[in-house]
Amino acid sequence: MAFPLPRGIMPPEISFLAEMEMVTILPRQRLEGLELLGGPVEPLIPPRRASLPLWLALLLKRQRRANILPPSWLHPESLSFILDIETQYEEYKDTFSPPPPLPGQPLLHDRGEPAVATPRYTPDGERYYPAPPFLPQNVARDHVPPQELQTLPFHWLEVGNMLLDAASDDLVDPDQTRRLLKELREVRMAKIRSGVDALDAAAMGGGGVALTGVGAIELGEGRRFISGVVDGLRRIGASREQARREELAEEMANGGYDATQDDDDEMEF
């Protein structure tokens, strides 16, 4: 068989994706700029900060050729704040705290403003809208505007764990950070499990079920469970007659000959 894995990227593949996130480093040595298949990498000229993909930052960190400057969300203060949102606010009791906005998406406090998506254009003339892991959600910023809400980026768990593993000395209070990440993980996992109630009929009218704010690994792990629930809800939410019609249609799609065949088979034995 050419491909043994099930449908949908799995956690090791998701970690691989997360390693493409850009992070900020403080190089300890010079290195010329490189033209990688993943895109150009700027030259390293200490003490100037540089932006690199996480996999490369970790490679350099492991050889003690650079230090990593963590993103603002990976800090006990920010994580406590986010944990509060996840647990203390009625609005987010069953859903995830809001994710960082996409380019052109209004920040939470500007909710009245309209979203404006600005596409890039591919060499083949198609529209392309960057999204994680290709947004600067994990680079270090010197100044975070005070009214800006801290948010967990899509690859929060992978980035958090990888930096704790390889660069804990570059983090503020790594032990507390580790504890808070663990707590966030548990709180959010519980939301996915009990999320059945949150997957309500109102969403069925829209044709889908919202999981906004979910993390990449959380999605990868919960994929099969969530699909099953959504499928089940689809049947419950529909009218009895429509459900019956759907069932029949699926049996036919999955080899209706089998269904009718089984009936006929009973004649033989």
Partner 1 sequence: MDIDDILASVDRHDPTTPESTALDHQLLTRFWVAERGVSELLPWPGPLMDRMMDRVRRQIETIEDLAATSADPLPSTSTTTNLQTTTTNTNTTINLTLSILQTDLSRTQYTLRSLLRQRLSKLTKHSMHYLLRISPPTTQQTQSQSQTAEHDLRPEDSIPTVGQEAPHPPLSAPEVRFLVAHQHLLAKHYGDAFLGSFPPQLRRLDDNAGGTSMVQGPEVREVVFVRCLVEEVRVVVPPGDGVEEEVVGGTAMRMGDVWAVRWEGVRDAWRRGEVEVL
Partner 2 sequence: MSNMYGELGNKLVQHAKRTQALTHLPPYQTELVRAVAREVRDLDRDVARLLTPFEGSFNPSQEPAIACALLVDHLCMRRNKRCLLAYHCVRTEKLEELCWTGVDVLEQQLPVAEEASAGAAAAAAAAAAQGQGAGSGMNHSSLSPEEEEYFRQYSDLLAAYKGQWTDIDLTGSLEPPKDLFIDVRVLKDAGEIQTEYGVINLTKNSQLYVRQGDVERLIAQGFLERLG
Burial degree of 46 (CB within 10 A; 0-12, 13-18, 19+): middle
Q: What gap in Å lies between CA 266 and CA 256, rounded to an integer?
A: 16
Closer CB to partner 2, residue 59 or residue 198? 59
Closer CB to partner 1, residue 63 or residue 194? 63
Q: Which does 230 bind (CB under 5 to 8 A by kind): partner 1, partner 2, none?
A: partner 1
| Residue 209 in contact with partner 1, rule: CB under 8 A | yes
| Residue 251 in contact with partner 1, rule: CB under 8 A | no
> Could you say which of 123, 143, 236, 263 contacts partner 1 (CB under 8 A)?
123
| Residue 190 in contact with partner 1, rule: CB under 8 A | no
Closer CB to partner 2, residue 1 or residue 201? 1
Per CB under 8 A, which region of 66-74, 76-84, 172-180, 207-215 contacts partner 1?
207-215
DSSP characters over 112-165 = TSPP----EE-TTS-EE---TTSSSSSS--S---TTPPP---TTHHHHHHHHHH
Closer CB to partner 1, residue 124 or residue 266? 124
List phi, psi (to 5°) of 133.
-90, 25
| Shortest Cβ 124–partner 1 spacing (Å) | 5
Instruction: Specify whether the CB–CB gap between 99 and 152 falls below 8 A.
Output: yes
Binding site for partner 2 (CB under 8 A): 1-5, 12-13, 15-16, 59, 62-63, 261, 264-265, 267-269
- Name the 3-class secondary structure at 23: strand
Site for partner 1 in 82-111 (CB under 8 A): 99, 101-105
Alpha carbon dihedral 150, 151, 153, 154, in 10-degree steps, equals: 180
Q: Which does 268 bind (CB under 5 to 8 A by kind): partner 2, partner 1, none?
A: partner 2
Closer CB to partner 2, residue 12 or residue 123? 12
| Shortest Cβ 227–partner 1 spacing (Å) | 4
Q: For residue 5, give Cα distances in angstroms to 25, 33, 174, 177.
A: 35, 37, 35, 33
Closer CB to partner 2, residue 2 or residue 253? 2
Q: Which does 34 bind (CB under 5 to 8 A by kind): partner 1, partner 2, none?
A: partner 1
Closest Cα to residue 133, out of 25, 39, 35, 210?
Answer: 39
Closest Cα to residue 56, out of 73, 31, 85, 77?
Answer: 31
